[in-house]
Chain A
Amino acid sequence: MNTHFNTSPDSPLEEWHNEVTHASKLSSQSQPLMSSHPRLNEFFEGGLPWGHVCEWGSPWGSGGRELALSFLSSIGQSQPYWSLWIQSHSDVAFYPPAWQARGVDLDHLRFAETQEPLKDVKSVFLEPFFKVIVLDSAKLSRDDCAFLKRQAHKHKQAIILIKPYFLSPKQGNIWAKTRLNCWQDHVHQQFHLQVVKGLSPRKIAISC
């Protein structure tokens, strides 16, 4: 749409055109973070909203991370965005071929391994470079969670906290907009999601 305007650089039409370009950028920014799994997008009423923290409860071995990964997949995305997966479990290492085979664009994903993410990689939270940041099994204080919420809001990022246990509705992270539990039924080959906070009570089973 920007090539057929035959105007001088300072003309009102050019200014209008620039505004339209910026507005289009803003509108694309306001679209939620889509998963490569359509049913998951339906479950989240369109996708994960930018500028918020989402907390997932998924014990190790339960398969929940496989579903969280679908938000890093480039399938269905108009533009690739940079993502960062910070892993705090000291005994395990990433196996990148499996990530790629699940649709993740390894060129736009960075991996970090640290027990203290807010100390060791704090700079990444201070800039909007990474649009999706996953903190897997990190031990975070209330202040840390508040900081993450502030930064997510400021930079319009989607921050996903994955806890290595199931979340309880009785107490928990007040800074997370959405809290849910996720696990895989290995016998029936289905993922299960259950909302704890942030959306109306619901539960879904998605075939693997």
Chain B
Amino acid sequence: MKQVLLFPEPPHKEVRKSHSYLVISCGQQGLDDTLLRLSPDIMCWQDHLWLVDLTSTVGYWQNIAQRAQLPCLKIWQQLLDDSLQGHHYCAVVADHPWQGLLMLSTLQDLGNHGLFDGQTQYVANIFKYFTWEHWWHHIERYQLHSLREKYLSATQVAGLKKSVSHMKKTAQRLACQYPYQLKHMPSSQIRRRFGSIIEGLWRDSFVEHTKMRYSLEYQTSFPWSFLQKKQQPTVKRMLDHHMNTWDEAEEWIRQDLNKLCFSPFFNTEEHTIYLEWRLVLHNLYEIPVPVFFRHPHSLPAEIPSQKTALLQIKFAFEKVLQEEQKSYQDIEQPMPQIIAWSLSVLSGIPKSSLITSLFDDSSENQTLLRLENQVHVPLKSYQTIDHWVPEQSFAQQGGDTKHLMHEQGFYATAKQRPLFTFRKSQPLQHKDTGALWVFLERTMDQWWSDGSDNIRRDYYSYTQGQRRYWIYRDIHKKWFIHGIYA
């Protein structure tokens, strides 16, 4: 029996970047136009096979899905079905593009059509049977793209070819029918035998990226070669006098945002998702200030005030400034002042007719989206899930939650539970014998499923003086405070 899992600590930083990739195969001409409606970052991997990096737009799509009360996958499927009328396509959404490529090849081998979620049991089952031919074929394409994009040097690619040859022999010698059989090999062994590049691809194929993707630091390594390399609208400014505070910069930024809207490269049909304000310091170091909007934002709609963009830039600037000042303090130097900057739109999304047809674009919704774009911390909304384990009984809205709370029985359970839970478990050290104890419920996880941690908790209401807590005893008879009746 394992230790009881406690309430998971949510990430302290807001998740602005969630990594999702769509891999699609379709013979229709003009597929790129359809895919550009999903994300500006698309790449042609080979003839009729495209990759879509949804990282910059996934927040937007989650919002659309939430408002349409559908999973994101359904929205994407509807968009693809409408755009590719009559044409067969096969697509999969995966946590990593490399994994998606292998999944798609296997799905196609089995004659599947449509859009698949890479996290479903069906895809997980057939993924075990992707063949060596798929593996070698995609490695070959990987080499080509890496060379073209200078992701790998010619020497590295030559080394990779040798490793592939060595791997082919090893697979034959071991009579290894499918690459999946190597899944449980330690990564150090893969690296020692076949080099770091193969090890990286092996890891991208098998390691669960779901946990990693909730990290701001996590970057997907891949030889991306995005189709749209249009010139980004940029405004540059050389300052007459040096500055270091937001109050001094605000008015200039406002002017630059307005100028940006009239740039010849600015697409008025697009809503902005990601801006970059790149500061140049007196010592000529450049500091990028990334500015993400929670929802696609129309810069021209806010000429001349640019209230929303200014607020988000201010929050991002204050955060970066704090970090920079700290690093300069560490070396006992004053931070150099800003002498110039450039402001660029790095990512946007076109307004699609399909999107607006899915829900009513009421002014109330628009106001809420605008407010959410103007605040520093997210305004979260939650939905409940029909699950009895407290940690799994709710989810933040916008995700692909499949089971909404239907069962009245769960309401009765939830009514006995407190409004607030502790982020971290608090071991109950000293039990007051004079306190009031009331048994509430016994909770177990899905012990019959493979991934069960064999959780069992006995929950009590524990009143100590004026305070009432929600505590439980785990299977090892240890006591924890889980929540508080506030």
| Min distance, Cβ B35 to any Cβ of chain A, angstroms | 32
Which residue of A98, A107, A120, A123 has the most chain B CB atoms within 10 A of its CB atom?
A98
Which residues of chain A are near B483, meaning CB under 8 Å? 92, 95
Q: Quick check: A123 and B417 within 8 Å, CB to CB?
A: no
**Contact with B7, one of A89, A93, A109, A122 (Cβ below 8 angstroms):** A93
Q: Could you say which of A44-52, A60-68, A195-203 contacts chain B?
A: A60-68
Question: Which residue of B is nearest A111, CB measured?
Answer: B380
**Contact with A65, one of B411, B415, B417, B486 (Cβ below 8 angstroms):** B486
Question: Which residue of B is nearest A96, CB measured?
Answer: B382
Q: Quick check: B379 and A111 within 8 Å, CB to CB?
A: yes
Q: Could you say which of B39-47, B136-144, B369-377 contacts chain A?
A: B369-377
Q: With A94-B382, A97-B410, A101-B414 as given contacts, are A120 and B375 in contact (CB-CB < 8 Å)?
A: yes
Q: Quick check: B466 and A59 within 8 Å, CB to CB?
A: yes
| Min distance, Cβ B334 to any Cβ of chain A, angstroms | 25
How far is B465's CA from A203's CA once the two chains are assembled, in angstroms?
A: 21
How far is B467's CA from A89's CA once the two chains are assembled, in angstroms?
A: 16
Question: Which residue of A is nearest B385, CB measured?
Answer: A97
Q: Quick check: B380 and A110 within 8 Å, CB to CB?
A: yes
Which residues of chain B are near A99, meaning CB under 8 Å? 419
28 A-B residue pairs with Cβ-Cβ distance under 8 Å, sorted by A, are A58-B486, A60-B484, A61-B469, A61-B486, A62-B468, A64-B486, A65-B419, A66-B419, A82-B368, A84-B379, A92-B421, A93-B10, A94-B419, A97-B384, A100-B405, A100-B414, A101-B411, A101-B417, A106-B384, A107-B381, A110-B380, A113-B380, A121-B376, A123-B311, A123-B374, A123-B375, A124-B371, A129-B364
Say whether B367 faces chain A, with CB atoms less than 8 Å apart.
yes
Say whether A143 faces chain B, with CB atoms less than 8 Å apart.
no
How far is B226's CA from A82's CA once the two chains are assembled, in angstroms?
A: 42
Task: Return the CB mask of A172-197 against B: 1 if under 8 Å, else 0.
Answer: 00000000000110110000000000
| Min distance, Cβ B401 to any Cβ of chain A, angstroms | 12
**Contact with B379, one of A89, A119, A121 (Cβ below 8 angstroms):** A121
Chain B residues 79-136 with CB under 8 Å of chain A are none
Question: Which residue of B is nearest A108, CB measured?
Answer: B381
Which residues of chain A are near B423, meaning CB under 8 Å? 90-93
Which residues of chain B are near A93, meaning CB under 8 Å? 7, 10, 420-423
Q: Quick check: B381 and A111 within 8 Å, CB to CB?
A: yes
User: What band does the interface of chain B fall in when counting residues whose beta carbon is under 8 Å from A?
Assistant: 35 or more
How far is B414's CA from A26's CA once the two chains are assembled, in angstroms?
A: 37
Q: A93-B423, A97-B417, A124-B371 are in contact. List 20 more A-B contacts (CB 8 A).
A: A60-B484, A61-B468, A62-B466, A63-B485, A66-B419, A93-B7, A93-B422, A95-B417, A95-B420, A96-B383, A97-B393, A97-B410, A106-B384, A110-B381, A112-B377, A112-B378, A114-B376, A121-B376, A121-B379, A184-B485
Which residues of chain A are near B485, meaning CB under 8 Å? 61, 63, 66, 184
Number of interface residues of A (CB under 8 A): 47
Q: With A61-B466, A111-B380 as given contacts, are A95 and B411 in contact (CB-CB < 8 Å)?
A: no
Task: Return the CB mask of B395-437 against A: 1 if under 8 Å, else 0.
Answer: 0000000000100001110110111111110000000000010
Say whether B55 faces chain A, with CB atoms less than 8 Å apart.
no
Question: Which residue of B is nearest A124, CB measured?
Answer: B371
Question: Which residue of B is nearest A114, CB measured?
Answer: B377
Say whether B394 faces chain A, with CB atoms less than 8 Å apart.
yes
| Min distance, Cβ B418 to any Cβ of chain A, angstroms | 6
Task: Return the CB mask of A103-143 against B: 1 if under 8 Å, else 0.
Answer: 00011011111100001111110010100000000000000
Task: Return the CB mask of A27-44 against B: 1 if under 8 Å, else 0.
Answer: 000000000000000000
Which residues of chain B are near A186, meaning CB under 8 Å? 436, 463, 468
Question: Which residue of A is nearest B307, CB measured?
Answer: A123
Q: With A94-B419, A96-B382, A112-B378 as given contacts, are A129 and B468 in contact (CB-CB < 8 Å)?
A: no
Question: Ordered nearest first, which 10 A-B pairs have the shortest CB separation?
Answer: A61-B467, A101-B414, A96-B382, A97-B414, A123-B374, A120-B376, A110-B379, A101-B415, A92-B420, A65-B486
| Min distance, Cβ A146 to any Cβ of chain B, angstroms | 21
Which residue of B7, B421, B484, B486 has the most chain A CB atoms within 10 A of its CB atom?
B486
Question: Which residue of A is nearest B467, CB measured?
Answer: A61
Q: With A61-B467, A106-B383, A186-B463 as given contacts, are A95 and B415 in contact (CB-CB < 8 Å)?
A: no
How far is B375's CA from A122's CA once the two chains are assembled, in angstroms?
A: 7
Q: Quick check: B467 and A98 within 8 Å, CB to CB?
A: no
Question: Which residue of A is nearest B484, CB measured?
Answer: A61
Question: Which residue of B is nearest A102, CB measured?
Answer: B415
How far is B380's CA from A114's CA once the two chains are assembled, in angstroms?
A: 12
